[in-house]
Structure 1
Amino acid sequence: MKLLSTLVYLLVSFYKFIKKFLVESSMAEFNVSKRHSHSLFIFSIILRKILYRKPKELMGSFNSAPKINNVDSQDDGLELPKGLSTDALLDHVRQLHGSGVVKPSLLSRCFLKPPLNSDDVTDGLRCLQLNSVSRVCSAPSDGAQHIRLLQWNILSQTLGQHNDGFVRCPDEALTWQHRRYLIVQEILQNQPDVVCLQEVDHFKFLQTVLGSQNYDGIFFPKPDSPCLYIEENNGPDGCAIFYKRDKLQLLGYDTRILEVWRVQSNQVAIAARLQLKASGREFCVCTTHLKARHGALLAKLRNEQGRDLIRFVKQFAGESPLLLCGDFNAEPIEPIYATILSCDLFKLGSAYADIKLEREREREREDQEQHTASCDDPNELIAQSIKREPPYTTWKIREDGEECHTIDYVFYTPQQLKIKNCLEFPAGEQIGKNRTPCFEYPSDHFSLVCDFELLDAPLSEDKSKPHGTIQ
């Protein structure tokens, strides 16, 4: 037994050394071939097999620090006045956030397509006086087939305050007391029907506040959350889905620990089947948070997680309309992006890219035939989508420099759903030189908000067993 323990220790030490040398260092600088990257990945899998005990104990990292298994309890004393409307709750939240001190307001953002067919701004728009510039929010449609989805990595409180190294963010701006009310404000003022969140480590707080506004929620933690290795943690972080219970009925849900070559990783997904009460139409929503970090090895790992995610979602959703969103930790040029868009199990589109393409087509109707022809080629379709993604969904400054990337997405089935509107991202001068998180915004990721319309199902729609392949 002692010999086996020594062997395991040596293997783990060797793994850490190789990983640090090849992955965290620039692999391009040392001209490491794909074969070597692949060999390293194989070695990591073999090592996990050696250390295997039970599926729940097979985690994504080798952390020798002791776990601190705290529970979600930091907001147990929270009390809210009963019967508050959304506007009244937002006013209450702003008062709690201010605490008698004037603080900067939440960043202002606008929808791409504000309603233009009403003489009375209150009929189609909601103006929130946040600072000297009003934020113009497009109210969600009350149509029986319309869905507004909000996707957001809200930033784990434990990781953001103690682990992520936001060197330009004031300490006070990272406190939960400051951040929690801005998170609520960002969600509620956009009036989403469905909310998909990542890095949630204060689920009970969100459940209480959003629950007061007719939202129900589902939470699924990471099996080996990095939060649990930090002393002041509030329990593990994970993914969550909230839905408006006065508009939507939950028909069922499923969760998954994503696998890489049949080995469980530390990333998770939630899928929910929802029904619009007014029309009886059903659709599925799935959210996930894939592995972070740069490098060819991690890009390969994310792609394998994505393939497992697609299989899981297809088994759950079948032929139903699908909204697949999350923090994929991958820019559009990474393999996982093409894997999702080229998968003939779903034939997914990217909401933000597609609505930009639609705008371009509206402006250039005379070129519509040329644009349509170019989209017949799947590779050309992916290339067009890549070009039309937002310039960034996260913008932060850490100890190792500034990061400005597009890594968060809302994918959907365009044969069954039509993208109608989306919330635009603030410009760099709005965000400020210190980037995010900051006093004006509580996360290092921006929320993605999209309006969809459920299309009428074609008469020839095949309801048989799902088929197809993953590229």
Structure 2
Amino acid sequence: MASPVTMPTSPPVDGMPHILRLELLFSRTPVESCDVIPFVVLRTPDGDIKSADTIETKTRGTISVQYRWLRSIPRFMCGRINCKNSATLQFTKVDLDDRAAGGAASPGDENDLRPFYCSQECLVHDWTERLRARLARRARAVTLPKTADEADQLRERLRMPLEWGEEDVALDNPAESVEVGWLRKYTPSKTDIGFPLELSCRYVFRQADNKVAIGPNVAIRTAAVRELPPPPPMRRLLAIPSGEDIMTQRRNGCFRILTYNVLAEIYASSQEYDYTPDWALAWTYRQNNLLREIERYNADVLCLQEIQEDHFQSHLFPALARLGFEGIFKSKTREAMGRKGKIDGCATFFRTDKFTLVENRSLEYDTIARARLGDGQQQTQQREALKRLSRGNVASLLILRSREIDRDILVANTHIFWDPEKADVKLYQVDVFLEEIEKTLARVGVDTPVAIGGDFNSEPDSAVYDLISTGAVSPEYRAEDPYGTLSSVRLMHKLKLVSAFTVTGLEAPFTNFTRKYVGTLDYIWYQGLRLTALMEIPSEHDLLGIDDTGALPNSRWSSDHIALMAEFQLPSR
């Protein structure tokens, strides 16, 4: 566990700033290559209380904060094999042979006399293994038991758990501190793995008489820096119909489209995902791991959902631009959750060496609902219907032109409302979405190929799936319409859309995998294209094999959804 904040012992000085709060955002367990970001709250001499960066901007640098990062190198490291953490406790039990026999402790070798561990878990595991190994050696060194009772006693000793008391543990592990950084953010390197970090902050106040006052240090200590976990296992891209893995191959006239709900930071709460370690749920870790995963798939078109506006601007767009992508973002039409930019939406990216952007259109389901139902002031039912439909969901429709064969393609990306109790809202949004696609095709050419990626929040046995795949909805679904909202839509279309994964005979067994829900919600739909390959769905072992959370997200998979990818061949004109 990380140590608590160390506040200055001296009281606040009148006429001087004062640091009121220091904590680490997201998690106090740093991870290699992932930013560690502190949050500092200051009180100014005028009594204004704000974050340090806000006050520094407001005062134009008159009041600022100095940061000093230290690597804490302890004298002893954890004695458990393959554990790289620094020790936080010392076990003083000494002789395993005498303990196993029920006798008094006697001196053993130095390794047994002074073993240090990072946690009680490592202590118990390591000493239990030592005990069993030593008893096993003794069993091999003596003659076989003469009776069944003696054999049972020996087997029981081999299974005996470790027992110990508080008097068997001492806490003493002095550390040496090495300076590693002076900026607000710090990114741990391989050198930091296994060592705690310490951040020391103090204010700097440039007074009116040009004197500079420097405040007392406020410090916080982290847990030991973790090694960056391995990325998700590589998934195969299986050619159709041969089944050959072509992930590393590039074929002329073909392109790959990926759809992925990445789980926005604003929804990734520790309450909703209480099984995920806080460091693995932290956006500073997940943003890097998600990019690492997406880059490995080598797609040409990315349909991403739950992308936060601030993350698109600060991280995702610049990172994907360096990989050769251009991106379009459309935020949901609702209020931000907290600070500006804390709202998610759909982001669509394409490789600029494969496509050029001909047209970009955004679709706001709420805006269309208001246009069709009016302002809701005339009748109570209209007002309630509009309220029910106004969920902020959006879509993006792009016309891309292939650089290889000079052929256009319509790429659509959407995220449909989530609530399973509101099938009418889902149907409304999807019907509007399909109608806009038909209108676009009527304008740019009905023979224009279509590729759709999205989180439709609907299972294969749903009315939404029937509408997309068959072009109509069974009449019984109209009964699930408490305010008559579906009377303003067609609930039919003339597109010939096919779900990419039905080529295998069935949809993917799941695209969302949490402790509360496992099912298929995400799809790639197409028409006017030839499907040439599909990326395999990971097995449950691939998702959970080295992780004890039993669900997504976890230390290797950073969303509660999985990515889907298909390869298509564009037809020539």
TM-score normalised by the chain length of structure 1: 0.60
Match of 2:51 in 1: none
SS of match in other structure, 1:438: coil
Which of 241, 248, 270 is the equivalent residue of 2:396? Answer: 270
Aligned pairs for 1:18-417 within 5 A: 100=193, 101-113=226-238, 138-143=247-252, 145-161=253-269, 165-201=272-308, 202-204=311-313, 205-224=315-334, 228-229=336-337, 231=338, 234-258=341-365, 259-260=368-369, 262=373, 263=386, 264-295=390-421, 298-318=422-442, 319=446, 320-343=448-471, 344-354=493-503, 356-357=504-505, 388-397=506-515, 402-413=516-527, 416-417=528-529
SS of match in other structure, 1:173: helix
Cα separation, 1, equivalents of 2:512 and 2:349 = 22
Q: 1:291 to 1:140 in 2, by over 3 A?
A: farther
> How far did 1:115 drift?
9.9
Match of 2:44 in 1: none
Amino acid at match of 1:245: T
Aligned residues: 303
> How far did 1:437 drift?
0.6
CA contact (8 A) 1:396 1:437 kept: yes
TM-score normalised by the chain length of structure 2: 0.50
Cα separation, 1, equivalents of 2:352 and 2:328 = 12
SS of match in other structure, 1:272: strand
More displaced, 254-263 or 329-338? 254-263
Amino acid at match of 2:520: T
Cα separation, 1, equivalents of 2:339 and 2:513 = 26
Cα separation, 1, equivalents of 2:353 and 2:520 = 33
Amino acid at match of 2:569: E
CA contact (8 A) 1:115 1:138 kept: no
Higher Rg: 2
Match of 2:534 in 1: 422
CA contact (8 A) 2:262 2:304 kept: yes
Structure 1: which 5+ runs fail to align?
A: 1-94, 118-123, 126-136, 358-387, 458-471
CA contact (8 A) 1:150 1:447 kept: yes
> How far did 1:274 drift?
0.3
Structure 2: which 5+ runs fail to align?
A: 1-186, 194-225, 374-385, 472-492
Cα separation, 2, equivalents of 1:438 and 1:194 = 26
Cα separation, 2, equivalents of 1:140 and 1:153 = 26
CA contact (8 A) 1:158 1:233 kept: no
Amino acid at match of 2:514: K
Cα separation, 2, equivalents of 1:141 and 1:158 = 37
Cα separation, 2, equivalents of 1:116 and 1:455 = 18
SS of match in other structure, 2:238: coil
Cα separation, 2, equivalents of 1:390 and 1:270 = 24
Match of 1:444 in 2: 560
Aligned-pair identity in percent equals: 25
Cα separation, 1, equivalents of 2:511 and 2:554 = 15
CA contact (8 A) 1:103 1:439 kept: no
Amino acid at match of 2:318: T
Higher RCO, 1 vs 2 (CA within 8 Å, ≥6 residues apart): 1
Deviations 1:362-398 (A, max 9, x none): xxxxxxxxxxxxxxxxxxxxxxxxxx0011001012x
Deviations 1:327-349 (A, max 9, x none): 00110111011101122521100
Q: 1:97 to 1:211 in 2, by over 3 A?
A: farther
Deviations 1:23-73 (A, max 9, x none): xxxxxxxxxxxxxxxxxxxxxxxxxxxxxxxxxxxxxxxxxxxxxxxxxxx
CA contact (8 A) 2:239 2:532 kept: no
State the superposition RMSD in angstroms.
2.5
Deviations 1:288-308 (A, max 9, x none): 00001222xx11210111000
Deviations 1:264-295 (A, max 9, x none): 54110000000111210110100000001222
CA contact (8 A) 1:139 1:190 kept: no
Query: Whose helix proportion is higher, 1 or 2?
Result: 1
